Amino acid sequence: MENLAVGLAAFFQLMGCYFFFAQPEDCCSPAPDLASWIFLAATLCFLWDTSIYPRRFMHMARFWRLIVEIVAAIFLTEVGTIIIWCGLERLLFCLTDELMKFMHNGCQTSPYVYWLSGLITSLVSGAVLWYVLEATDGMYYIMKFGRELKTTMKVSWRMLRCYINMNMRDRRRALKVCQLARKMPKRKCCQSDRDSCE
């Protein structure tokens, strides 16, 4: 799906704008909102990897594909968050509440229901997110990004340590070399462009 379509679907969800379904006034359940955000992330990751625009319509202008994908992304995000997640969150909260009442042998709601339901719903939505990331190769890209970030941080740290250990004269030389290195590729590109023009 187009990045713009997924981005707009995420934006409308974060702003609380709904076009196809009315959001429940009780916000699904009294459980903490963290699980809802995790499930929204899973829904958006799924949409990012999904192609819904038919191949036989690919010959049409990109504008039409963008419109179709924006509408579909908003609709599917609302289905995921309001229909699927709200129902699942309500069920999990009710089960947790009934379990706590049963354990306390009373009709009063336990003070731990809020936190326990938050933990349970977060674990369920986290499992959904993990499944989606595994299914869409998201984990591979996250691990790859982590490895590249780690390598970059190591190199940057080595360079910073080396720079700190230099005296002032060597620091000036190093800065001049960096400035010259930045200018060199431009000159080479310009020279190669001139040679190709001739």
Q: Does residue 35 fall inside a structural domain?
A: yes
At residue 77, the pLDDT reads 93
Average pLDDT over residues 31-58: 87
At residue 197, the pLDDT reads 45
| Domain span at 70 | 3-144
Per the prediction, the chain carries an average pLDDT of 81
Q: Does residue 53 fall inside a structural domain?
A: yes
At residue 110, the pLDDT reads 66
Q: Does residue 49 fall inside a structural domain?
A: yes
At residue 79, the pLDDT reads 93
- Chain-centre distance for alpha carbon 145: 13
Q: Helix/strand/coil (H, E, C) string of 118-168? A: HHHHHHHHHHHHHHHHHHCCHHHHHHHHHHHHHHHHHHHHHHHHHHHHCCH
pLDDT at 68 over 50: yes
Q: Does residue 20 fall inside a structural domain?
A: yes
Q: Does residue 15 fall inside a structural domain?
A: yes
Q: Does residue 188 fall inside a structural domain?
A: no
State the total domains in the chain: 1
Which residue has better confidence, 116 or 194?
A: 116
Give residue-wise pLDDT tens across range 72-118. Answer: 999 999 999 988 998 899 899 888 888 887 777 666 666 778 888 88
How many C-beta atoms lie closer than 10 Å to residue 60's C-beta?
11
pLDDT at 198 over 50: no
Lowest mean per-residue pLDDT among 124-133, 141-150, 157-166 = 157-166
Q: What is the pTM of this model?
A: 0.70
Degrees to nearest 5, angle at CA 84 with 117 and 54: 150
Give residue-wise pLDDT tens across range 151-186. Answer: 899 888 887 887 777 777 777 777 777 777 777 655
